[in-house]
């Protein structure tokens, strides 16, 4: 081997754990896990299922501690083995364990819908974020870290995504605070939480509440400590706020908040209806092979490798509607309930019409994204939506 050749990277703790599990003397441990996962997958969901998983993990850890391969291991190696057991087991049981009840699924859908509506008009002003922290481009990395939560199956890996997101927020808060005043007081919790709430709104993470419940249930309670657990509490607090928040909780007139939320919801329903009619699909979850850990200085180190979410995982919800037509594109036909809606005027004007016989209707907002909506246009958009809804009902009545 050449002296200048780079040394092969050391195997991760999880890879080392898996290598040991392949040893013939571990066949009983592997058999225990295989039998449990089969029984767990076949069982009916109940309130105690997470307790059964934790109890089984405790049994596995006791068996592992007394095993010949780990009998002389130090505390660090034993802790890595415990983490490896949890990761290995939860990867095998993920499809069954990460399966919210119908009530939780409804709650998650309502939460996602509300967050989409809030994200369309709530900004730093409404959360009283100080001017020195209003650099939303700085939060894109934090959003990207939080979105990764759906790439992983193990509770600890999901916690690392939350930890990374919060560390990025803290790093930027400290940097921006020093940039504003070198001798000023460091940012505190009152500075962190509003920015974190804005990051959550902008990230639009699918199944966020389901992830919170999954971590809460299946992360071993003995290891729900340290900084990751603290930031998990921050996520629970922020999500709880967004679930119950109203106009009075933001710096905005209550009536304007209610009106804007109503208009955005109506416009979102229309976009969803058009998307369903055209066969729009949110796509599958992205795949990744490893988690990373953000250090306090902002650098990133590789964390435990992780099996990516499988294709059987529920598809992530799209964060935006369909694409708009260019002026040179020919008209496209989209049908809603069998009624033809023409998209894109042939003359390139960009106007849209919904026709029935000789009647037509110009739609000013048809090519606009929800995020482009201005408060001053709320009343006009609501009027247009009502006209379109009335025309749609009339068209359906003629079928």
Sign of the CA dihedral running 173, 174, 180, 181 = positive
Q: What total number of domains does the chain contain? A: 3
pLDDT at position 316 is 36
Task: Name the domain boundary from 62, 97, 132.
Answer: 97
Are 167 and 110 part of one and the same domain?
A: yes
Query: What whole-number distance in Å separates Cα of residue 353 and Cα of residue 379?
Result: 20
In a domain, 259, yes or no: no
In a domain, 275, yes or no: no
Are 145 and 214 part of one and the same domain?
A: yes
Query: What whole-number distance in Å separates Cα of residue 94 and Cα of residue 73?
Result: 29
Answer whether 142's CB lies under 8 Å from 169's CB: yes
Are 344 and 294 part of one and the same domain?
A: no
Are 20 and 87 part of one and the same domain?
A: yes
Are 192 and 220 part of one and the same domain?
A: yes
Q: What is 81-95 written as a DSSP string?
A: HHHHHHHHHHHHHHH
Are 91 and 52 part of one and the same domain?
A: yes
pLDDT at position 164 is 94
In a domain, 268, yes or no: no
Query: What whole-number distance in Å separates Cα of residue 110 and Cα of residue 119?
Result: 14
pLDDT means per 10 residues, the chain with 399 residues, are: 58 90 93 94 88 95 92 91 95 90 91 93 93 84 95 96 94 88 79 95 95 96 90 96 95 89 71 47 34 46 36 36 35 32 33 38 66 66 70 58
pLDDT at position 179 is 83
Q: Which residue range forms the structural domain that includes residue 372?
A: 332-397
pLDDT at position 5 is 53
Could you tell me the CATH number of the domain that includes residue 239?
1.20.1050.80
Are 141 and 238 part of one and the same domain?
A: yes
Nearest-Å Rg of the Cα atoms of the chain is 26
Query: How buried is 276 (Cβ within 10 angstroms: 0-12 exposed, 13-18 middle, 19+ buried)?
Result: exposed
Query: What whole-number distance in Å separates Cα of residue 186 and Cα of residue 164?
Result: 20
Among 294, 319, 369, which Cα is nearest to 147's?
Answer: 319
For residue 223, what are the CA distances in angstroms to 13, 82, 87, 219, 273? 17, 10, 13, 7, 45
pLDDT at position 252 is 92
Query: What whole-number distance in Å separates Cα of residue 41 and Cα of residue 61?
Result: 21
Task: Name the domain boundary from 97, 128, 145.
Answer: 97
Are 198 and 286 part of one and the same domain?
A: yes
Task: Name the domain boundary from 305, 321, 345.
Answer: 305
pLDDT at position 97 is 93
* Non-local CB neighbours of 96 within 8 Å, separated by 6+ positions: 40, 41
In a domain, 52, yes or no: yes
What pTM was estimated for this model as a whole?
0.69
Query: What whole-number distance in Å separates Cα of residue 325 and Cα of residue 322?
Result: 10
Are 238 and 127 part of one and the same domain?
A: yes
Answer whether 158's CB lies under 8 Å from 118's CB: no
In a domain, 187, yes or no: yes
């Amino acid at each position: 081997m050449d002296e200048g050749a780079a040394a092969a990277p050391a195997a991760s703790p999880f890879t080392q754990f898996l290598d040991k599990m392949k040893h013939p003397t571990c066949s009983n441990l592997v058999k225990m896990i295989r039998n449990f996962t089969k029984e767990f997958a076949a069982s009916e969901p109940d309130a105690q299922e997470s307790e059964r998983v934790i109890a089984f993990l405790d049994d596995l850890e006791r068996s592992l501690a007394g095993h010949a391969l780990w009998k002389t291991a130090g505390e660090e190696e034993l802790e890595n083995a415990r983490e490896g057991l949890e990761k290995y087991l939860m990867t095998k049981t993920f499809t069954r364990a990460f399966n919210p009840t119908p009530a939780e699924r409804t709650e998650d859908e309502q939460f996602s819908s509300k967050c989409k509506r809030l994200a369309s008009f709530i900004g730093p002003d409404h959360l009283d974020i100080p001017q020195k922290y209003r650099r939303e481009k700085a939060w894109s990395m934090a959003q990207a870290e939080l979105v990764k939560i759906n790439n992983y199956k193990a509770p600890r890996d999901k916690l690392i995504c939350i930890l990374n997101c919060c560390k990025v927020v803290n790093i930027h808060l400290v940097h921006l605070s020093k940039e504003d005043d070198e001798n000023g007081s460091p940012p505190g919790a009152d500075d962190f939480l509003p920015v974190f709430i804005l990051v959550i709104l902008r990230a639009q993470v699918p199944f966020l509440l389901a992830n919170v419940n999954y971590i809460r249930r299946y992360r071993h309670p003995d290891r729900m400590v340290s900084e990751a657990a603290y930031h998990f509490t921050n996520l629970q607090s922020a999500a709880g706020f967004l679930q119950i928040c109203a106009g009075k909780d933001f710096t905005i007139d209550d009536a304007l908040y209610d009106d804007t939320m109503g208009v955005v919801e109506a416009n979102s329903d229309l976009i969803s209806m058009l998307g369903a009619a055209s066969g729009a699909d949110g796509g599958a979850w992205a795949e990744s092979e490893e988690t990373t850990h953000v250090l306090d200085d902002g650098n990133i180190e590789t964390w435990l490798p992780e099996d990516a979410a499988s294709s059987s995982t529920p598809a992530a919800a799209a964060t935006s509607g369909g694409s708009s037509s260019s002026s040179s594109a020919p008209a496209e036909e989209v049908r809603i309930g069998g009624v033809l809606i023409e998209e894109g005027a042939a003359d390139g004007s960009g106007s849209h019409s919904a026709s029935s016989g000789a009647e037509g209707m110009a739609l000013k907002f048809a090519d606009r994204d929800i995020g482009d909506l201005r408060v001053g246009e709320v009343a006009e958009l609501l009027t247009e939506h009502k006209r379109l809804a009335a025309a749609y009902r009339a068209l359906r009545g003629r079928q």
